[in-house]
Amino acid sequence: MFATANAAALKTTDKATLPKDLFSAIEDLKKDLNAVVLAHYYQEPDIQDIADYIGDSLGLSQQAASTKADVIVFAGVHFMAETAKILNPDKLVLLPDLEAGCSLADSCPPDTFGKFKSAHPDHLVISYINCTAEIKALSDIICTSSNAVKIVNQLPPEQKIIFAPDRNLGRYVMEQTGRDMVLWQGSCIVHETFSEKKMLRLKMEHPDAEIVAHPECEAGVLRHANYIGSTTALLKYVGGAECDRFIVATEPGIIHQMEKQTPKKHFIPAPPEANCACNECPYMRLNTLEKLYLAMKNKTPEITILPEIRAKALAPIQRMLEMSV
Ligand code: 13P
Ligand code: SF4
């Protein structure tokens, strides 16, 4: 629904100038601009297919940190493009739709979080990368869903920790590490929409299916999962597992890569609580191939960050990259 409404929202002048073959026009622009297109697995299939690199949040940050391109076109959401800009202040970083935000990042406003942090002065702040640059600037270490457990395990056992903003990932990390942490109570509207009851009904219809889930899901969903991991980890797992049917409890955009990787296996999206498409991330789906092309052609919308915020947000991201190798 969002993608269609949004494509319709393109200016008439923009629509008139769209080339017939968007794929080859984007390939030409990549060469002209010396641009790289980085895409998250939750992007629509066409965007995934035109991308130079598709990955999870950690892989995308690692690519952004090492790219030699002059222009980074980020097919993902705002906090991801912002991370790329923090790592590359002198490069042009484009996001096809600046409205592509994140409910989880929105659930942690910097003012309130600053007071929360002040109330726990002896705690180290670990923030999930799904947060704004301002929250990153208030953090000591950034993590993603693929390295959160690894990072927490590297800290001395007596170190007190605040984990923000995702309460579900935080709880999962506490279970995996046996550590107590103070959790900020944020969450993702997509991963909290899955219905445990409907998923179990689906499992009864397909008893041979394994359930794979992202750690942003609620405990009720995670407790039935055969495997829990980041999007990249889920993709690797379903590729290597003997099972050939999976119920996928994360944003269904990833199923495009799962099917490409193993066309003979079957992937069933986990159902949302309501009768809606709420398991699709409305922010990720704001980006379209048309908008990606126009962003490259017009070199806008561009990501900008205040230098003082950028300087403070860089150190915790670099710490994450060092602790992930
Ligand atoms: P990963 O890319 O780390 O798997 O996280 C998924 C997500 O929700 C991104 O917004
Ligand atoms: Fe944010 Fe959730 Fe969308 Fe990921 S899936 S970008 S956490 S709203």
Give the pocket of ligand 1 (CB within 6 Å): 56-57, 130, 144-146, 216, 230-231
Share of the chain above pLDDT 90, in %: 93
**155 belongs to a structural domain:** yes
Q: Are 18 and 84 members of one domain?
A: yes
Residue 276 lies in a domain: no
In a domain, 14, yes or no: yes
Q: What is the pLDDT of residue 17?
A: 84
Residue 277 falls inside a structural domain: no
**Paired sense of beta strands 227-228 and 210-213, if any:** parallel
Pick the ligand that lies closest to the CA of residue 129: 1
Domain span at residue 218 reads: 196-269
CA–CA separation, 266 and 246 (whole Å): 6
Q: Identify the band that residue 23 occupies on the pLDDT scale cut at 50, 70 and 90.
A: very high
- Within this chain, do residues 92 and 21 fall inside the same structural domain, yes or no? yes
Q: Are residues 114 and 250 in the same domain?
A: no
Rounded to a whole number of angstroms, the distance between the first and last alpha carbons of the chain is 40
pLDDT (tens digit per residue) in 104-153: 999 999 999 999 999 999 999 999 999 999 999 999 999 999 999 999 99
What the block records as the tokens of 189 is: 């509207």
102 a known binding residue? yes
- Token code pair at residue 319: 């710490």
Q: What is the CATH number of the domain that holds 27?
A: 3.40.50.10800
**Residues 173 and 319 grouped into a single domain:** yes
Does residue 2 carry a pLDDT above 80?
no
For residues 261 and 112, membership in a common domain is answered with: no
Q: Is the CB of 283 under 6 A from ligand 2?
A: yes
Q: Is the bond into 252 cis (omega within 30 degrees of 0)?
A: no
Res 3 pLDDT > 50: no
**Predicted pLDDT at 13:** 73
What's the pLDDT at 8?
47
**Global model pTM greater than 0.75:** yes
User: Residue 7 — very low, low, confident or very high, per pLDDT cuts 50/70/90?
Assistant: very low
- Nearest CA to 73 out of 260, 255, 297 is that of 297
Q: Is the CB of 190 under 6 A from ligand 2?
A: yes
What's the average model confidence in pLDDT over 40-45?
98
Pick the range with the lowest mean pLDDT from 13-22, 199-208, 232-241, 290-299.
Answer: 13-22
Residue 1's pLDDT is what? Answer: 34
Structure tokens at 257: 């890569």
Same domain, 18 and 160: no
Clarify whether residues 85 and 110 are in a common domain. Answer: no
Residue 302, marked binder = no
Q: Check whether residue 95 and residue 114 sit in a common domain.
A: no
Mean pLDDT confidence for 225-234: 98
Same-domain pairing of 19 and 83: yes
Q: For the chain, how many structural domains are there in total?
A: 3
Instruction: Say yes or no: 156 and 242 in one domain.
Output: no
Are both 176 and 205 inside the same structural domain?
A: no
What are the tens digits of pLDDT across the range 156-165?
Answer: 999 999 999 9
% of the chain with per-residue pLDDT over 70: 97
Residue 168 has pLDDT above 90, yes or no: yes
- How high is the pLDDT of residue 216? 98
Q: Does 59 have pLDDT greater than 70?
A: yes
Determine the residue of 251, 254, 278, 287 to mutate for testing ligand 2's pocket, defined as the one with the most ligand atoms within 8 A of the Cβ atom: 251
Structure tokens at 173: 């990390």
Q: Taking all residues of the chain, what is their mean pLDDT, rounded to a whole number? A: 96
Instruction: Name the β-bridge partners of 272.
Output: 194
Is residue 217 a contact partner of residue 194, using CB atoms and an 8 Å limit? yes
DSSP code, position 74: E
- Tell whether residue 282 is among the known ligand binding residues: no
Mean pLDDT of 276-291: 96
Residue 58 included in any domain: yes
